[in-house]
Structure 1
Amino acid sequence: MDTVTVSDIQLEYEIHGTGEPVLFISPVLSDGFVPLLAEPALSGRYALIRYHKRGWSGSTHRPGPVAVADHVTDAIGLLDHLGIDRVHVAGHSSGAAVAAQLAQDRPDRIATVALLELSLLSVPAGEAFFAQAGPAFQAYADGDAERAIGLFLSLVSGMDGERCRTLLDERLPGSVEQAVKDADTFFGIELPALAEWRFGAEEAAAIRQPVLSVLGSDTRPLWVEVAAFLRATVPDVEERVIDGVGHLLHIERSRPVAEALARFLARHPLAS
């Protein structure tokens, strides 16, 4: 991957293809969008940009706190470096929080927003989710990062640990090992920032760009509730449900997710 320095932070990034630019923002699996970006529905039509947020993989690791707003600043700095004025943005889980904040803070730079199961912990189901994640938090506190990441990925995916690990090893070789290396960032910086992030009805209503909300038919109650919140509050939102998948929807079934995103982008070109 290439690197760029933004406000003394080094970010790793890469671009695939040509066409209208689309910026992808990942959560705990820093390379989680790789299968999606390889799909022909996207790869032959767009300039697909993915990067490692600060604290992830080879990007700069610094002690926290790092707020969602800091990731927004980093993303805009990356776009400035690339000479990109306006961009489509897509985020998954906590990466979708950065995408949503980008749309609010820099509407002049963001043309459309795709939210793949936005993680919003302030909805009622958020408290129950945190309780369910207790064993993962305890494992991390006990110094067992590998067990902590395994438990957390199993929880969010809705799969048992062995099935989840098999899926990730097949679709994203090395991703679990990298997530373990990034565990301090995830548990110590990312999740606290997500818990403090405020995105209520007023903030959702402030997003004026076209929004695509994507969720899996078999996902956890947290993301079902978040999707309902988006339907009720975002002025211009479309929803797409991907059959037979949970929170790792774009890894489990990348093709229908890519096709849904491509159709959405085609309806809302940058020039419109």
Structure 2
Amino acid sequence: MNTLTVNDIQIECEVRGSGEPVLFISPVLADGFVPLVTEPALTGRRRLIRYHKRGWGGSTHTSGPVTVADHATDAIALLDRLGVTRAHVAGHSSGAAVAAQLAQDHPDRIATVALLELSLLSVPAGEGFFAQAAPAFEAYADGDAERALGLFMSVVSGMHWERCRTLLETRVPGSVAQTVKDADTFFGVELPALTEWRFGPDHAAAIRQPVLSVLGRNTQRLWVEVAEFLRSTVPDIEERVIDGVGHLLHIERPQPVADALAQFLDRHPITS
């Protein structure tokens, strides 16, 4: 990845191909979009941009809180640095929160929004999710970042950790070790920011761009409820459900996710 100066910090970024720009925003797995951006349905006709958010990988780690809105500001600055005036944006989980924030804050810059299982913890199932994830938080508080990661990923993926680890190491080699290194950012910065993020019916209704909501057929109740919320509040929304997968849908089965995204982008080209 290349390193660019953005908002007085360093951001790691990779750009593939040419054509209409698509910005990918990851959550806990900094390189989680690697399988998707190599799919033939997306390569060749688009400029695919993925990056490590502030605090992840080799990007600058800053002290103090970093909000979802701060990440959105960094993302726009990154597009500025790359000379991109208008882009499609796709985000997964907490990265989808940044994508949704971008659509609200910069409607003139964002053409479409793809939300891969947006993490919105204010839905009713959010409380149950935190209860399930409590052992992971306890492990992190005890200083065992690796165990904390394993427990948390088991909850979100719906898999036993060894199966989940094997999947991640097969599809994104080195991702587990990197995510353990990023544990302080995830547990200490990202989750608190996501908990404080406000995205209610009025916010959702303010997104006027075409939106694609992508859901795994076997996902947890949290993301089912979020999809229901989006379906009832976002004015211009399409939905695709990917069979045989859970929250790690774009890592488990990148091809159908890429196909769904490519078809959505073809229906909504960027216009000047």
* Equivalent-residue separation in structure 2 for 1:211 and 1:268 (angstroms): 10
- Answering whether residue 75 of structure 2 is matched by residue 83 of structure 1, we say no
Q: How much does 1:64 deviate? A: 2.5
1:78-108 superposed Cα distances (whole Å, 9 cap, x missing partner): 0001110000000000000000000000000
Q: Secondary structure at the match of 1:123?
A: coil
SS of structure 1 residue aligned to 2:41: helix
Shift of 1:71: 0.4
1:180 alignment counterpart: 180
Partner of 1:67: 67
Residue 4 of structure 2 corresponds to 4
| Structure 2 partner of 1:156 | 156
| 2:212 is the counterpart of 1:237 | no
Aligned to 1:130: 130
Q: Which residue of 2 aligns with 1:120?
A: 120
Corresponding letter in the other structure for 2:46: Y
Q: Secondary structure at the residue paired with 1:90?
A: strand
Cα deviation 1:22-74 (Å, max 9, x = unaligned): 00000000000000000000012210000000000000011220000100110
Partner in structure 1 of residue 166 of structure 2: 166
Relative to the length of structure 1, the TM-score reads 0.99
- Aligned partner of residue 60 in structure 2, secondary structure: coil
Report the residue type matching 2:138 in the other structure. Answer: Q
Give the alignment of 1:190-269 within 5 angstroms. 190-269=190-269
Q: What one-letter code is carried by the residue in structure 1 that aligns with 2:51?
A: Y
SS in 1 for 2:24: strand
The Cα of 1:113 is off from its aligned counterpart by 0.0
SS at match of 1:91: strand
Match of 1:22 in 2: 22
Q: Which amino acid aligns with 1:79?
A: L
Task: Give, in whole Å, the separation in 2 of the partners of 1:125 and 1:46.
Answer: 36
Distance 1:50 1:211 in 2: 19
- SS of the equivalent of 1:42 reads coil
- 2:54 aligns with 54
Structure 1 position 4, deviation (Å): 1.2
Q: Secondary structure of the equivalent of 1:71?
A: helix
What is the aligned-residue identity percentage? 79
- Tell me the distance in 2 between the aligned counterparts of 1:169 and 1:140: 22
User: What count of residue pairs does the alignment treat as equivalent?
Assistant: 272
Q: Distance in 2 between matches of 1:12 and 1:94?
A: 18
Amino acid in structure 1 at the alignment position of 2:248: L
Unmatched segments (≥5 aa) in structure 2: none
Deviation of residue 149 (structure 1)? 0.6
Please give the root-mean-square deviation of Cα atoms over the aligned residues, in Å: 0.7
- Structure 1 unaligned spans of 5+: none
Give the letter aligned to residue 254 of structure 1.
P
Cα deviation digits, residues 223-260 of structure 1 (max 9, x gap)? 00000000000000000000000000000000000000
Equivalent residue for 1:189?
Answer: 189
Q: How far apart are the structure 2 equivalents of 1:112 and 1:164?
A: 31
SS of the residue aligned with 2:156? helix
